[in-house]
Every structure is written in C-alpha cells, then in structure tokens.
Amino acid sequence: MSSAPNPTAHAPSAPPADGLPGGGAFADVTASESALRRYLHGLPGVDAVGLEARAATLGTRSIKTSSKAHAIDLAISMIDLTTLEGADTPGKVRSLCAKGRNPDPTDRTTPRVAAICVYPDMVATAGEALAGSGINVASVATAFPAGRAALDVKLADTRDAVAAGADEIDMVIDRGAFLSGRYMKVFEEIRAVKEACRRTDGGAAHLKVIFENGELSTYDNIRRASWLAMLAGADFIKTSTGKVAVNATLPNTLLMLEAVRDFRAATGVQIGVKPAGGIRTTKDALKYLVTVNETAGEDWLTPEWFRFGASSLLNDLLMQRQKLSTGHYSGPDYVTVD
C-alpha cells in the first residue's frame, strides 16, 4: 500500500467545454432522457452471487503485522469525522475538530483525519477550529438525508455551505426520481449542485454524491447510480447517509470501486469512493483497504480518492494502534467518546 499524503482534497479539475467527463465522449448518452435510460440500462447486469463471493474472499485476506501499522495510519488519515445530529452545538463541533487535529494526544505521530463533516450551519465553526490544520471542512447539503426539497432550496443549502467555507459538499440524490426512472432529473440536479459548489475566487468545493444504497435495493441500481453520478460530474461517489438500516457494505463498495476503475479507463477521469455508515472496527476498515487495493488499485489508496464516513471507527483504530505500539490495550478512558 502506498503512503498517505496530507489529507487534503484534490482540487477539482476544470470541466471540459461541454461540461462532460472525458472531453464530451458521453455527450450523446446525456442528450436526452431516453438516451440516458438506454445507456444506464445497457450496462452489464451485476452477478450478485459472484460479487458477494468476491467481496467475501477479499474480506478474508490477512495483512501482515509489519503492514498493519501502516494500514491503520492510512485508515485514520481517510476518515471524515462526522457529527450530524439535531443536538449538535458549536462546542461539540469544536471538540470534534480538536480530536480530528490530534486524535491521540499521547502520541503526536498519529495522523490527522481527512475532514470534519457537519451540517451547513456549523461550517463556519468548524472552519475556525480547523484553521491551519490542513483538514477539510465537509458539509452535507441538498436537504440531507432525505433529499425531499425543491431544487432551489437544495442549491441555496449548497451555496450557503460553500460561502461559509466548506471545502467539500456531500449531496444526496433524489432516490424517488431515480427509482421511478427519471434519470435526467437526477443528472441535471447533480450538475446544478456541482455548479453551486463554485466559489467566488474561481475554485470549487469537492462534490460527493450520496446514493443511499440501502434504498436503491439492487446491485444493478447501484451500478447505474454510480455511472449516472460520474457522468454528471461527481468528484466522489458515496454509499449512504448513515441514517438508514443498510449503509455501507463490502459488496456494494466493491461494485462502486469497479465502476470508478472502469470510468477512468473509459474517460481518463478519476473519481473517489466513500463508504459511510456501519464501519466500526479496525478489522472492517482493513477489509475495505484490501478491497480498494485489489479492485481499483493503489492510485485510490490515499485520502484524496478514498474516505471512510465513520466516527466510532476512529476510536477502534486508535485502540489497535496503541496495542501495536505498546503490546497492550489501554483502559476505557484512552480515547474520547464522541
């Protein structure tokens, strides 16, 4: 596995003149609702049995002790440390930012996390707390988590977060539109949010597009959503909000990794992947890193291209890191409770 660089998001490349990845190679695909539907339904069907068997095999791969310490540090550097609760306060957000900057106060060699993810009204607070740290401020937007709002409301939500200093925007797709086959509505909404991510200085916030795989139900739908989001200009594709019963799983993340691998082969454009929700242990995180390496390759093994949407995961990674370093676990007060 490659070493992790500083966990700052890659700067989104300037879009081609026609706004489509790959220099407009897919312009005909997105020219109309019928063309887009034909393309998405023409993607190869997913062999569910084969996909799950492949994920299960990758999940049994072991990492040598000599590599485990590096893998744990890499996983820490890929975390989007998150608080998305109605009871969030400025104090809670500042505390989370402090933990992200210095996850283990007893060991200054511990990597910092990739980003702190908060609601739009907490972006400014997070930005102040993270100033000079190199950690990005991410914000959910577009009426997260349900996405049930008019487009102008979603765009205002996005613009407010970007104006407050968000480096990254995590948007949710309209699952109702997607599941009813209105693919162009979803495509155009992603494109509009992408445009709303632009800042007045000419830069842009990084756009992560959340599918909510637990509501898409089928692997074929997840593959279609992956290609739809990438065609629309997503910088990252993300499994879930963490707010439903079924969130990230190894098979659906494997499927999304195959999609970004194939998309880069077709267009030359690299897209990141973010599994979110339900990843709580070091053992789980290492399975995901093995899956990234074996599916998309080492190019994705950096915080620029792979993230974990998880908070409880960080505590377990810190406990396991301390165990490798000292040979024993610390007491229950070794890590802070988020």
| Residues known to be catalytic | 170, 238, 274
CA 83 to chain centre: 15
Neighbouring C-alpha atoms within 13 Å toward the C-beta of 69: 10
CA 145 to chain centre: 14
CB neighbours of residue 164 within 10 Å: 17
Residue among 253, 246, 238 nearest 290 (CA) = 253
Give the whole-angstrom CA distance, residue 78 versus residue 8: 10
Q: Which two tokens stand for residue 242?
A: 């963490």
Give the whole-angstrom CA distance, residue 235 versus residue 184: 19
Helix (H, G, I), strand (E, B) or coil at 106: coil
> What value does the CA radius of gyration of the chain take, rounded to a whole number of Å?
19
CA triple 298-209-218, angle to 5 deg? 85
CB neighbours of residue 215 within 10 Å: 18
SS (H, E, C) 24-67: HCCCCCCCCHHHHHHHHHHCCCCCHHHHHHHHHHHCCCCCCHHH
Full DSSP string of 116-133: EEE-GGGHHHHHHHHTTS
Residues in CB range of 232: below 8 A, 6 or more apart: 30, 186, 187, 188, 190, 191, 194, 209
